[in-house]
Structure 1
Amino acid sequence: MSAPALLPLALALALFSARAACEVIFEERFEDGWESRWVRSDWKRSEGLAGNWIHTAGKWYGDDADKGIQTSPDARFFAISTKFPQEFSNKGRTLVLQYSVKHEQKIECGGGYVKLMSGYVNQRKFSGDTPYSIMFGPDICGTQTKKLHAIIQYKGQNYPIKKTVACETDQLTHVYTFIIRPDASYSILVDNRERESGSLYNDWEILPPRKLKDNKAKKPEDWDDREYIPDPDDKKPEDWDSIPSEIPDPKSKKPDDWDEEDDGEWYPSTIPNPKYKGPWKPKKIKNPAYKGKWKIPWVDNPEFEDDPDLYVFAPLQYFGIELWQVKAGSLFDNILITDDPDYAKQVAEETTLKNKDAELESFEEAEKKREADEEREAQAAREEGERRRRSRDRRRDSHSKLRSRDRARDYDRRARSKSARLREDMKSKYSRGYDDEDDDDDDDDDYYPDHGHDEL
């Protein structure tokens, strides 16, 4: 790839000079036309679980023109790959794998790692079961898993690094670099700073160890591991043992009222003797026969068989991103495969790391906006809750008034009914009686008042 057109001339010349001194096997900045170089896998698509890739600079960035590809939506499997212009063999050469990733979603459980693959790969079927030569990058899940994977394939078997290498867990872009050299040494860098280094022999359990501890070995009887010994020429002074540890206190005086007949013989109190030096011990000198602390010796492991090509992979042909994410939003960019660690450092400085401060500022502004939006939503929710509470209170008051009114009506109705019954009872008690024996139809003859009246 040529240097981006917008780069200053001096920077473009520097990049061209660096490229001339190294080989760039593959480089991807995800500029226009990137989709023609990449193949989206159909893995999990029939199940509706295949995720998408969005070409974007993200929600916050140092340069809005610097775009990558971002996972979306949540709870999906993601798989995409690209083929190198030509295969690359790292035999006799340094291999540098570098890329950047930003977890905008504040990832809770998901990967951000990448893979290098050898041999033929059906890119439409690229999946988690596709064999790979190297898997490298961050993996985060809960509070326990926050590490960098560094898995290498050897004779058909995958071997993870034995060390726990911490990854970044914030929401900013970071550059991850894995370097493997022809002497089987390696380095892992984060943002151009070495985070781990060592040897493929020691930090991966690929080959049996060169040496083993000889557990049958025993310390020789004449082994002297005393670093210091008593000085045989040092002798105890003749008056050493005559010096008492305590002496009478010169300030102690017998009380004036002390009666030896009643109180017994008086003795002054004692104090530590400043001249007393404790039990005598000869001074220590260096032991001329000292051989050091004895340790179990290491011996050659009979099962070890060296492989000078331990660092060599089958010719590399593909770069792929394959992962599962509960919460999507990881953005990948600035992928580089080269044989020159210095050039990789330069690319990191001139891309991701150059925009680091501007990205942080953009992130902080986005966080302030998010917090303000959340506060507005919370305030609106509180106001809505208060409105609903008042509405419930009004309905409750209204229902209470209706019930009170109904109770009052029932009370009035019962009171009127009771009053009517009382009036009827009183009327019946004090009104005229009836002549039950008079069966004629003359009503006037049947009725007579309860109290007396003049007879006709």
Structure 2
Amino acid sequence: AVESPEVTSNKDGHFVVQYEVKFQRELQCGGAYLKLFKLESGTKPEDFTNDTPYVIMFGPDRCGTTNKVHFILRHQNPTSKEWSEKHFSSPPSVPYDQLTHLYALHIKPDNTFDILIDNKVEKSGSLLKDMEPPINPPEMIDDPTDKKPDDWVDNPKMEDPEAKKPDDWDEDAPKRIRDPDAKMPEGWLEDEPLQVADPSSVRPEDWDDEEDGEWTAPLVDNPKCKVGCGKWEAPMIDNPNYKGKWTPPLIDNPNYKGEWKARQIKNPDYFVDNAPHALSPINAIGIELWTMQSGILFDNIVVSRDMAKAKAFGEATWKVRHDIEDKQSGAASSKKKDKASSFINTIKEGFMSLSLSFQLSIVAIALSTMILMAYGFGRRSAKPTTKRKGGSKKDKGAAASSKDDKDKQEGAEGDDEAEDEQEGEGEG
């Protein structure tokens, strides 16, 4: 916080507060406000905290569903002497980028105000009509001592005490039932399986049951099941007899007295302030940050009674900076696109400069590599379509060929078993 020249009540004047904010990283959750307040006797700017009473709080805030430029006015009730916060009910949203932006609040002598972003009015309002809760409280209020009588009936309708559930009303009837009129389609085979062994499949000539396991033909869709196979069930339809839970019909309540409202009394704290634009004294400005990220910059804080001068100052300071940032941002984005385009063009030009035969060779090599990779991945992930029983003669022969080979194989098998156990534990 810092001390500033005092702004005293001026019923015929304007009030302007303006400042720049830059989020070097896009604001995800946080606020960057100014608080304008009165330094009490014996206090210093460095005593400023989150709990320091203020007159105006203004600035951007974004977090979750919140996205607005706050304008809060603390107003004192001249009758009760209590202070309360009055929030602008329709604030503008916060720009979503990393550029420097200029925020300004202009309060006018007719009790209207403007919120400007980058020297453009984004929202306007009235201190007398658009603040929540209102600046001026209601003249009449509910009597806090008034209580609704115990016998007060405020339900206009009631269940008919004379009504009885009809004898044919079945509360247990299901909402949907099997269609009693449906019939199994002609050609539906309940005893046929949906899949059968492929009759066109032939056992490979080099297949060895002892080495490769028992051979079985792969399964294919049963051609007899064009209409359907397996157990047939009728389709579900809405139950025409379904009625659900029975409840008595409603009738007019003979004891209904209407909606109860508390007795009205005069508001003891009632007042009328027709000039809320005449602010309480301000002689200090504090910056309040509420954020989980760094890189938030403030600059060029202005408190004035002349909106034209504040705008001119913004054009001479913020506008220059913003235009440079805007160009740099566009150039950086364009540079990334140019780099990507240049890389692609270089490859393209190099390829086109080769002879036709060399181009065809490169294409053939690329296609061959892709096919081999696809084949390799397919072999790795494919599931066997045949069942095997027993071990492999080739493996046994290789294991018995020499002691060294056997030791190597056993060591490899031990490693494989350890890997299988680890994979099993991982899957579990």
Which TM-score bucket, shorter chain as reference? 0.3 to 0.5
Larger radius of gyration: 1
Relative to the length of structure 2, the TM-score reads 0.45
